[in-house]
């Protein structure tokens, strides 16, 4: 009985295993698919970034709206609410829009205190890369540690190529993510 009580007291004194949050913005579901792979590998909580007023369904209209938002520094109001305090690592996923960090992700960073957290960016893009998005995230993420990010090519919505995270591409992405997560540890 004493040994059981001792074991329980030692267990209670141990720090809790860190929790992960995976929060993501996805238009054509490619970033969402990557977020779900990360969740399956880490066991973290998954949250989609939703706007109070969604972007138009039309791709061109969204591109034009995002361009105006970036020019004006406008941060669209979010419906999504998170509680960063309960997490140690926060994965933030997004597509590259106009070679920049999407305005809704800037809204998320402005609305929440990520101080003392490890923030880990991940990205899907149309083959042009991350642009300035990871640098913008580092600049906007006050008092947090930004770890090495992950990026992969997703769809090319402007060319009518939408969801690509399936079949061989999904398997390849899962393997890349596993290697990336191992490097993060």
Cα 29 to chain centroid distance, Å, stands at 13
Predicted confidence at residue 23, as pLDDT, reads: 98
Give the HSE-up count for residue 10: Cα atoms under 13 Å, Cβ half-sphere.
6
Predicted confidence at residue 160, as pLDDT, reads: 92
Please give the Cα distance from 93 to 149 (Å, whole number): 9
Place of tokens 């006050």: 142
Predicted confidence at residue 12, as pLDDT, reads: 34
Per-residue pLDDT of the chain (185 residues; tens, 9 = 90+): 444 333 333 333 333 347 999 999 999 999 999 999 999 999 999 999 999 999 999 999 999 999 999 999 999 999 999 999 999 999 999 999 999 999 999 999 999 999 999 999 999 999 999 999 999 999 999 899 999 999 999 999 999 999 999 999 999 999 999 999 999 98
Predicted confidence at residue 142, as pLDDT, reads: 85
pLDDT tens string 47-68? 999 999 999 999 999 999 999 9
């Amino acid at each position: 009985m004493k040994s059981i009580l001792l074991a329980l007291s030692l267990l209670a004194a141990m720090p809790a295993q860190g929790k992960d949050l995976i929060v993501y913005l996805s238009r054509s579901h490619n970033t969402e698919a990557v977020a779900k792979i990360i969740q399956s590998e880490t066991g973290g909580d998954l949250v989609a970034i939703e706007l109070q007023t969604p972007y138009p369904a039309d791709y061109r209209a969204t591109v034009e709206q995002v361009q105006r938002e970036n020019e004006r520094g406008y941060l669209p109001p979010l419906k999504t609410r998170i509680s960063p305090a309960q997490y140690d690592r926060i994965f933030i996923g997004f597509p590259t829009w106009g070679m920049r960090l999407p305005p809704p992700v800037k809204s998320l960073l402005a609305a929440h205190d990520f101080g003392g957290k490890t923030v880990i960016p991940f990205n899907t893009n149309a083959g042009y890369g991350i642009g300035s998005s990871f640098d913008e995230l580092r600049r906007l993420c006050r008092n947090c540690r930004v770890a090495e990010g992950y990026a992969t090519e997703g769809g090319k919505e402007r060319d009518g190529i939408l969801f690509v995270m399936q079949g061989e591409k999904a398997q390849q992405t899962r393997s890349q993510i596993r290697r990336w997560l191992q490097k993060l540890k």
